[in-house]
Amino acid sequence: MPQPAPIRLYSGPLSMFGAKAQIALLEKGLEAEVVMVPFEMKALYEPKHPEVLRINPKRQVPVLVHGDLEIFDSTQIFEYLEDLCPEPPLWPRDIAGRARARLLELQSDEVYFPHIIRLMGLQQTPDDPAAIAARDGAAQFYARMESLLEDDRAWLAGADFTYADIAFFMAQIFGDRMGAPIPADATCLIAWRTRMSERPAVRQVAGAMGRWLLGIGRPVPEWMQAIVG
């Protein structure tokens, strides 16, 4: 499909939301220039990239530029990419299925991930009540996703791979890193994670993130070794 202008994605080496957008671009087969903005574990994203500051009032990646279009937020980028390049579809075709998949994507970002955010900085105090509550919240979400996959569906929203899978795969990496991994008895969810790990787009983006972490002396989850290697 012809593109009227080059696509540029501003992301970061440890941006879960930027990784979501990058995986989606690769799954769509869309060429894009990926600009990794400066990031350091102590200073984080300071100083902010000037283009990110100019485009996004929230002052954060991801930001996507396509011709004179400038948008931010990983979910908004998903919606734009689906309109720009309908094939292969990454939302279900039917209205109800699409709504369910969109809800799963939102829940990954807005229901599951806040628990993981609360765990950041609490790795040294796992018995802190806030850490316990956050892990419990993550565990409840894992249980709901496990129950979805128990219906012999390959992907979270059903038979087809969707943006919901991209969103939750990246989020659960951070969950694992922060001390709330998928439990060993969630066999359907672990099998789903393996299928995700085998997708070339996922391997490329998640693998690069894992190598970046190892490069600064930070561990990665054991199951990610096959992707990183």
Average of pLDDT values for 142-168? Answer: 96
Specify whether 116 is located in the same domain as 207.
yes
With CA atoms as reference, report the closest residue to 221 among 195, 199, 194, 201.
194
CATH number at residue 64: 3.40.30.10
Range(s) of the domain holding residue 164: 95-228
Specify whether 108 is located in the same domain as 193.
yes
pLDDT of 3 reads: 47
pLDDT of 152 reads: 87
Query: Tokens representing 204?
Result: 């490329």
pTM of the model: 0.95
Whether residue 89 lies inside any domain: the answer is no
Does pLDDT of 45 surpass 90? no
Whether residue 2 lies inside any domain: the answer is no
Query: Phi, psi (5° rounding) for residue 33?
Result: -85, 125
Specify whether 75 is located in the same domain as 111.
no
Specify whether 147 is located in the same domain as 112.
yes
Work out the pLDDT band at 36, boundaries 50, 70, 90.
very high
Whether residue 200 lies inside any domain: the answer is yes
Distance, CA of 145 to CA of 86 (rounded, Å): 27
Does pLDDT of 117 surpass 90? yes
Specify whether 50 is located in the same domain as 111.
no
Mean pLDDT taken over the chain: 94
Whether residue 109 lies inside any domain: the answer is yes
| pLDDT > 90 fraction of the chain, expressed in percent and rounded | 88
* Residue of higher predicted confidence among 78 and 43: 78
Whether residue 182 lies inside any domain: the answer is yes
Strands 69-72 and 63-66: antiparallel
Specify whether 134 is located in the same domain as 48.
no
Query: Could you say which of 84, 103, 128 is where a domain stops?
Result: 84
Specify whether 222 is located in the same domain as 145.
yes
With CA atoms as reference, report the closest residue to 15 among 50, 51, 62.
62
Query: Phi, psi (5° rounding) for residue 6?
Result: -60, 150
Distance, CA of 149 to CA of 53 (rounded, Å): 40
Query: Could you say which of 41, 64, 84 is where a domain stops?
Result: 84
Query: Could you say which of 84, 108, 135 is where a domain stops?
Result: 84
Specify whether 216 is located in the same domain as 119.
yes
Query: Phi, psi (5° rounding) for residue 40?
Result: -145, 145
Specify whether 76 is located in the same domain as 182.
no
Q: How many domains would you assign to the chain?
A: 2
Does pLDDT of 59 surpass 50? yes
Specify whether 72 is located in the same domain as 129.
no
Specify whether 106 is located in the same domain as 56.
no
Q: In whole angstroms, how far apart are CA 180 and each of 74, 119, 125, 136, 175? A: 23, 8, 13, 9, 5
Average of pLDDT values for 163-181? Answer: 98
36: left (phi over 0), alpha (psi -120 to 50) or beta: beta
Specify whether 127 is located in the same domain as 183.
yes
Whether residue 1 lies inside any domain: the answer is no
